[in-house]
Amino acid sequence: MSSLARPPHRYELYTYLCVAENIKAVTPRFVIKNPGGGSDFRFKCRPTAVSDDYSFCAFHINGHDYELRNGIEYDGHQMRHEVDVAISTPLTHGAYALPGQLRFAVECKYFADLNGLKGQLRGLVGGVLDLSPYDAVRKDCLLIGGGFQSHFACQHHYHRRLDFLDYLTSYNVAPLFDFRPAGKDMRAARQWIRDFCHILW
């Protein structure tokens, strides 16, 4: 299988393929859907509504159907938010996805300068909050990350910025620093993806 992703999106593609590989390892009912058939994986390189004009993976597990897509915009309380890599219930072509359909989200950032991530982390947390559901009892409170698991992936080691690590975990975002082929978090990533598949709802 070849891919048609442009260079700036290679880290997102890399993360997508890592997630896909580990999902495929736990369910035999896993298929790649390519528009118009063929063997080229047409990777989405810009955020849009749900589009079947790009390739994505579909799978069945725990009695339900799911999709692994990238670059999908979800309607939040205040605005739309792109999710780099997402597992969701089946989505409708041409529509904007709803937060209740999201199960698993990964924000992918490959920055040469670790300090350049600060603004990206704030944006990620803002998106997580805006996609979180309201508490059923206290309508003025949000259940942070309720309804989906949120993750952050970058190639830098967390020991260089422990404040980033603390910030993410305080908002229920599970960080994967050093997420790269030779990185120390690769084993952890494989395990949390496979564990997550067993509890998909």
pLDDT tens readout for residues 11-47: 999 999 999 999 999 998 999 999 978 888 999 999 9
Whether residue 7 is predicted with pLDDT greater than 60 in this model: the reply is no
pLDDT tens readout for residues 108-128: 998 877 777 888 899 999 999
Question: Which of 97, 145, 108, 93 lies closest to 17, judged by CA?
Answer: 108
Q: What CATH number did the domain enclosing 165 receive? A: 3.40.91
Q: What is the pLDDT of residue 3?
A: 53
> What percent of the chain is modeled with pLDDT above 70?
96
Q: What is the pLDDT of residue 1?
A: 47
Q: What is the pLDDT of residue 132?
A: 92
Range of the domain at 173: 2-198
Question: How far from the centroid of its chain's Cα atoms is residue 185's Cα?
Answer: 16
pTM: predicted TM-score of the whole model, two decimal places: 0.90
Task: State the average pLDDT for the chain.
Answer: 89
Backbone torsion region of residue 98, taken as left when φ is above 0, otherwise alpha when ψ lies between -120 and 50, otherwise beta: beta
Q: Which two tokens stand for residue 4?
A: 């048609």
Whether residue 67 is predicted with pLDDT greater than 90 in this model: the reply is yes
Q: Are the beta carbons of 154 and 124 closer than 8 angstroms?
A: no
Whether residue 166 is predicted with pLDDT greater than 60 in this model: the reply is yes
Q: What is the pLDDT of residue 34?
A: 94
Q: Which residue has the higher pLDDT, 90 or 165?
A: 90
Number of domains in the chain: 1
- Cα–Cα distance between 72 and 82 in angstroms, integer? 5
